Amino acid sequence: MCAKQIAIDIGTSNTLIFVKGQGIVLQEPTVVSININNNKILAVGYEAQKMIGKTPMNIEVIKPLKFGSIDQFDIAKAMLEKFIERVGEGKKFFNTFSRAKVLVGVPSGVTQVERKGIEEVIREAGAKQVMVVKSVVAAAIGSGASINKPKITFIVDIGGGTTDIAAITLGGILVENSIKVGGNNFDTAIIQYLKKQYNVNIGDMTAENIKIKIGDALGVEDLEIEATGQNLTTGLPVPVNITSKEILKAIEQPLSKIILAIKKVIEQCPPESAADILENGVLLTGGSSLLKNFDILLQRELKIQVTRVQDPLLIVIQGLGITLDHLDLLNSMMLEYNARDIQDINNNRKESKPKE
For the stretch 34-89, pLDDT in tens is 999 998 999 999 999 999 888 888 999 999 988 877 888 889 888 988 888 888 65
Residue 91: band (very low, low, confident or very high) from pLDDT cuts 50, 70, 90: low
Which pLDDT does position 69 carry in this prediction? Answer: 78
pLDDT higher than threshold 80 for residue 342? no
In the CATH scheme, what is the code of domain 5-138+314-351?
Answer: 3.30.420.40
Task: Quote the pLDDT of residue 327.
Answer: 67
- Percent pLDDT > 90 in the chain is 57
By CB atoms closer than 10 A (0-12, 13-18, 19+), residue 183 is buried
Q: Say whether pLDDT at 318 is over 70.
A: yes
> Rounded distance, CA 161 to CA 107, Å?
10
In this prediction, residue 337 carries a pLDDT of 39
What is the CB neighbour count within 10 angstroms for residue 335?
16
Mean of the per-residue pLDDT values for the chain?
A: 86
What is the H or E stretch that residue 176 is in?
strand 172-179
For residues 317 and 91, which has the higher predicted lDDT (pLDDT)?
Answer: 317
Residue 349 above 70 pLDDT? Answer: no
CATH topology of domain 142-181+256-308: Nucleotidyltransferase; domain 5 (3.30.420)
Q: Which residue has the higher pLDDT, 335 or 54?
A: 54
Produce one character per residue of 202-212: b if its CB has 16 or more CB atoms within 10 Å, e if not. bbbebbbbbbe
Architecture in CATH for domain 183-250: Alpha-Beta Complex (3.90)
Q: What is the pLDDT of residues 260-309, one digit of tens each?
A: 999 999 999 998 888 889 999 999 999 999 999 999 999 999 999 999 99
Q: Is residue 340 pLDDT above 60, yes or no? A: no
Average pLDDT on 326-339 reads: 48
Nearest to 273 by CA among 346, 179, 166, 345: 166
pLDDT of residue 168: 92
Domain limits, CATH 3.90.640.10, in the chain: 183-250
Q: pLDDT-derived band of residue 5, with 50, 70 and 90 as boundaries?
A: confident
Residues in the chain: 356
**pLDDT tens per residue across span 34-47:** 999 998 999 999 99
Taking CA atoms, 12 is separated from 29, 31, 65, in Å, by: 9, 9, 5
pLDDT band at 193 (very low <50, low <70, confident <90, very high): very high
Highest mean pLDDT (candidates 88-92, 94-98, 233-237, 339-343): 233-237
Phi, psi of 59 (to 5 degrees): -120, 130
Q: Where in the chain is the domain with CATH 3.30.420.40?
A: 5-138+314-351, 142-181+256-308
| pLDDT over threshold 60, residue 314 | yes
Beta strands 23-29 and 14-19, pairing class: antiparallel
Tell whether the model's pLDDT for residue 183 goes beyond 60. yes
Residues 92-144 pLDDT 10s = 555 566 678 889 998 887 888 888 888 888 888 778 888 888 999 999 989 88
The model carries a pTM of 0.85
pLDDT tens by residue, 146-159: 777 888 999 999 99
> How much is the average pLDDT of 20-37?
93
